[in-house]
A = this chain, B = another copy of it.
Amino acid sequence: MTSTSTPFARNQWYVAAYAHEIGRELLGRTILGEPVVLYRTEDDHTPVALADRCVHRRFPLSESRLDGDRIVCGYHGFTYDTTGTCVSVPGQKRVPRTARVASYPLVEQDALIWIWIGDPALADPQTIPRARHLADPAWTTVTGMEPIDGDYGLLVDNLMDLSHETYLHGGCIGTPEVAETPITTEVDEDAGIVRVSRHMDDAACPPFYARSTGIDGRITRWQDIEYFAPCLYLLHSRIAPVGVLPEADGTDPNAFHTEITYAITPSSEGKVYDFWAVSRDFATDDAEVTAFLRDFNHEVVMQDVNALNLLQRTLDTEPDGYQELSINIDTGALAARRILARLAEEGAKPVEAVR
């Protein structure tokens, strides 16, 4: 492990895929360093996740084919059912009793497929954080996923400190006010939640919002981040003409709300899946706005992807023990790192114990 690697927290839920990505084609992903093959059963479309390595000679099962609900290895035909049990081998009737691959607990919720890589006995679906807007018909959502050749901690850093919008995404979603406006940070260490808020009372409206909302003057812009370590990140974004505030009863009919969702799923060391979604409660039927937000947010995400790929390559050439200098804007990211370190440590314990 290099000095830039954030350890993996194993006993946690992670997003393996969007629900719509899993079907009757085998999909291979590597999650927390574990190769996984994903598919759905033929009749009831139940998602299945098995270890992506044939017990025979380690051929990737994701390079194989489905026969009904069974995976037939593409090399020698070892055949596995949905539990990972090998049910057929070539050239003989008897299947060795130890012939099975791991199967992973999955939960399909909020248009996401959540996976549990750690100790299955600890997998409690109740602890999965919610992102209800992703499956709520009152919201229209665009999504995407980009793999990044960078430590997942770099993506957490990136998302926890939005002052970078002004510089990396200037002209897209950043304006001077984002970097200038101080943040407030709240940390719930026990629950593993970090909240970072930045309320701009009078800010320029960046193209991302001007084009999607139709506002053409200055705006009140609120950014309220909730990070449910290790995987789910929600940015509650509220945009309104300057001076327009929520009503006394808590409703907010004159503002535009956008839920920006990220799922940060560590792949192998130094690689991370960057799942992103943009959900809105306005112009929900406007296909043009949908297309604009999909393309424009993809462009923004690629600015981050390129910057983090570059940053990882840069860090890979730095001498060990290089220095960082943190300031107030980093409070949320530092809290997140602290929580991730604790979760990784806790996740490591049961695994050690059973060895």
**Residues 35-71 of chain A, each 1 if its beta carbon lies under 8 Å from chain B, else 0:** 1000000000000000001011111100100000000
Tell whether A310 pairs with B163 under 8 Å between CB atoms, given A315-B58, A323-B55, A327-B89: no
Partner of A325, one of B60, B77, B96, B161: B96
Partner of A324, one of B58, B164, B322: B58
When chains A and B are docked, how far (Å) is the Cα of A329 from the Cα of B95?
12
Asked if A292 CB lies within 8 Å of chain B CBs, one says no
A309-344 residues at the B interface, CB under 8 angstroms: 310-311, 314-315, 317-318, 322-329
Asked if A16 CB lies within 8 Å of chain B CBs, one says no
Partner of A179, one of B57, B58, B76, B325: B76
Asked if A74 CB lies within 8 Å of chain B CBs, one says yes
**Residues 265-282 of chain A, each 1 if its beta carbon lies under 8 Å from chain B, else 0:** 000100000000000000
Asked if A91 CB lies within 8 Å of chain B CBs, one says yes
In the complex, are the beta carbons of B59 and A90 less than 8 A apart? no
When chains A and B are docked, how far (Å) is the Cα of A58 from the Cα of B153?
14
When chains A and B are docked, how far (Å) is the Cα of A59 from the Cα of B150?
13
Tell whether A59 pairs with B329 under 8 Å between CB atoms, given A53-B314, A268-B317: no
Asked if A232 CB lies within 8 Å of chain B CBs, one says no
In the complex, are the beta carbons of B179 and A328 less than 8 A apart? no
Asked if A85 CB lies within 8 Å of chain B CBs, one says no
In the complex, are the beta carbons of B168 and A58 less than 8 A apart? no
Binding stretch for chain B, among A106-114, A124-132, A180-188, A233-241: A180-188
Count copies of this chain in the complex. Answer: 3
* Size class of the contact patch on chain A: 35 or more
A97-152 residues at the B interface, CB under 8 angstroms: 98-99
Asked if A225 CB lies within 8 Å of chain B CBs, one says no
Partner of A74, one of B59, B76, B167, B326: B167
In chain B, what residue has the closest Cβ to A89? B327
Given contacts A59-B307, A75-B164, 18 further A-B contacts (CB under 8 A): A53-B314, A53-B322, A55-B323, A57-B311, A58-B314, A58-B318, A74-B167, A75-B167, A75-B307, A75-B311, A89-B327, A89-B329, A90-B163, A90-B166, A90-B179, A90-B180, A91-B179, A96-B327
User: Nearest 9 pairs between A and B by C-beta?
Assistant: A90-B179, A90-B163, A55-B325, A91-B329, A77-B167, A76-B164, A92-B328, A76-B163, A91-B182
Residues of A within 8 A of B (CB): 35, 53, 55-60, 63, 72-77, 89-92, 96, 98-99, 157, 161, 163-164, 166-168, 179-183, 268, 307, 310-311, 314-315, 317-318, 322-329
